[in-house]
Structure formats: C-alpha cells, structure tokens
Structure 1
Amino acid sequence: MTPDRALDFMNDMLWAAAVIAGPVMLATLLVGLTVSIFQVATQIQEITLSYVPKIVTAGLMLIILGPWMISRLTSFARDLYLTIPALAQ
C-alpha cells in the first residue's frame, strides 16, 4: 500500500466521521446557543438548564438518525473490507 492510498483511506474515514457525527453535534450546538441566549436575557444561571436540553437533544437525534448513522457506518466498513484484497497487490 502506498502512502497516498493510506492518506485516501484516512481522508475517507475523517469525512465519514464528520458526516455521521455532524447532525447530532449541530443540533446540540443550536440548542446550547438558544439556551445560552435565554440565560443571558433572563439572567437565570442554573447549571442544569444548559445541560439537560443538550442531553435530551442529543438523545433524540441519536434515536431519530440512528438507523441512517448505522447504515452509513456499515457501508463505509463494507467498502473498506472489500478493498483488502486489492491492497495485497
């Protein structure tokens, strides 16, 4: 295996990880930003007010997008395993 091919595999792995984790992270970021704006506007500095909505949002996103995330991950793994015989050349 050449270094270029290894870097291509690494690039594919990083893009797959970003695409799979992106929607959950983005939803959690938006909820955290909304809660922070609410806390600044109302001057309520309750620590659980910032954590609980983010945890609930992440959990709901994982439940909703879980099948898509698993299929995306298994497709990446399957493609990677199918390239193993070509690496021996």
Structure 2
Amino acid sequence: MSPDVVVRIAENTVYMILILCTPVLAIALIVGLLVSIFQATTQIQEQTLAFIPKIIATFLAILFFGPWMLNHLIDFATSYFNQLHRYIG
C-alpha cells in the first residue's frame, strides 16, 4: 500500500467522522444556544439548566439519526474492507 493510499484513507476517515458527528453536534449547539438565551433573558444561572437539555437533545438526536449514521458507517467500512482485500489478495 503506497503512502498516497494511506493518506486518502485517512482523509476519507476524517471526512466520515465529520459527516457522522455533524447532526448530533449541531442539535446540541442549537439547544445550548436556546438555553443560553433563555438563561440570559430570565437571569437564571443554574448550571444544570444548561446541561440537562443538551444531554436529552443529544440522546434524542442519536436515537433519530442512529440508523442513518450506522448505514453510512457500515457502507464506509465495507468499502474499505473491499479495498484492503484487493490490496492484500
């Protein structure tokens, strides 16, 4: 396996990580922003108020996007195992 192939695999892996993490992180960011706006307008500075909604939103996002993420991950792994099989065998 040449260094170019290894670099391409690393690039595609990082790209796949970004694709898989984006929906969950975006939802956590939006919920965190909404909670921060709520805290600023009501002047409530409770730490659990910022933490608990993000955990719940992240969990729900994983439940909702989980099958999509798993399908992409399986396709990604299958394609790289097939490529590895071509290089080895």
Q: What TM-score do the two structures reach when normalised by structure 2?
A: 0.94
Q: Where does structure 1 lack aligned partners over 5 or more consecutive residues? A: none
How far apart, CA to CA, are the structure 2 residues paired with 1:81 and 1:5? 14
1:25 partnered with 2:25: yes
Query: For this pair of structures, how many residues does the alignment match?
Result: 89
Q: What TM-score do the two structures reach when normalised by structure 1?
A: 0.94
For residues 1-89 of structure 1, the aligned pairs below 5 Å read: 1-88=1-88
Structure 1 segments, 4+ long, off by >4 Å, are none
How far apart, CA to CA, are the structure 1 residues paired with 2:47 and 2:54? 12
Q: Where does structure 2 lack aligned partners over 5 or more consecutive residues? A: none
How much does 1:39 deviate?
0.8
Q: CA RMSD in A?
A: 1.2
How far apart, CA to CA, are the structure 2 residues paired with 1:57 and 1:39? 17
- Give aligned-pair identity as a percent: 36
